[in-house]
Amino acid sequence: DTGVSQDPRHKITKRGQNVTFRCDPISEHNRLYWYRQTLGQGPEFLTYFQNEAQLEKSRLLSDRFSAERPKGSFSTLEIQRTEQGDSAMYLCASSLAQGLNEKLFFGSGTQLSVL
Amino acid sequence: AQKITQTQPGMFVQEKEAVTLDCTYDTSDPSYGLFWYKQPSSGEMIFLIYQGSYDQQNATEGRYSLNFQKARKSANLVISASQLGDSAMYFCAMRDSQGAQKLVFGQGTRLTINP
């Protein structure tokens, strides 16, 4: 069990550029979540997938953000036309669907800095 | 709507002492789950403990216990015999049946263990 892995760990980009992050969940997990965390705050929910279906998106997820999970395995999160306000840690988590006690396993995150 | 409040931005404790991290929550749903996560400087969120709203007893996991006071809507984390490796950010989170699958996090408490 290699855990949840995210790539890259750090990304520095210029305003207006597009960026893409990748998340590889724990292999038997059917749910995958994306969260965003800014300095001094707790993680904020962005979106989640069950298998390949994207089931919920937060209002935080503007139309510049898109996430995919083809074939229900890894996921990508793309941000188009990045803005300085997009600078944050982007966390991915995976889980097995099991009700209220569903435990999320997190990756180490991708730290995005938009200059 | 779900809401989690952690009122202690920072806590400083001597090694080997016990420490209590506060968490209050708000939900109108009688069915919910409460979680505590630890986030070391590496960034990965680590699950510590879970308490269900209908659980009769307070949850315990090794040195971690959850002081669940349902009427007060509080779910404080108690760490016994603190260790230097306990220094980290700690987040309280909840999920209720009305909030679909997402975990809602508090702002966190930074715990520092002094030798």
Q: Which of A2, A4, A71, A62 is nearest to A33 (CA)?
A: A4
Assess whether the previous peptide bond of A70 is cis (omega < 30° from 0).
no
User: Residue A8: its pLDDT value, please?
Assistant: 97
Distance CA B113, CA B95 (A): 29
Lowest mean pLDDT among A69-83, A95-109, B46-60: A95-109
**Residues A29-76: tens digit of each pLDDT:** 999 999 999 998 999 999 999 999 999 899 888 899 999 999 889 999
User: Residue B100: its pLDDT value, please?
Assistant: 66
Any chain B CB within 8 A of the CB of A107? Answer: yes
Residue B93 pLDDT more than 60? yes
Nearest residue of A to residue B92 by CA position? A42
Return the residue matching tokens 């503007």. A62
Any chain A CB within 8 A of the CB of B8? Answer: no
Any chain A CB within 8 A of the CB of B4? Answer: yes
Tell me whether residues A42 and B107 touch, CB distance under 8 A: yes
Residue A1 pLDDT more than 60? no
Residue B97 pLDDT more than 90? no
Query: Dihedral sign, CA of B8, B2, A94, B80?
Result: positive
Tell me whether residues A43 and B4 touch, CB distance under 8 A: no
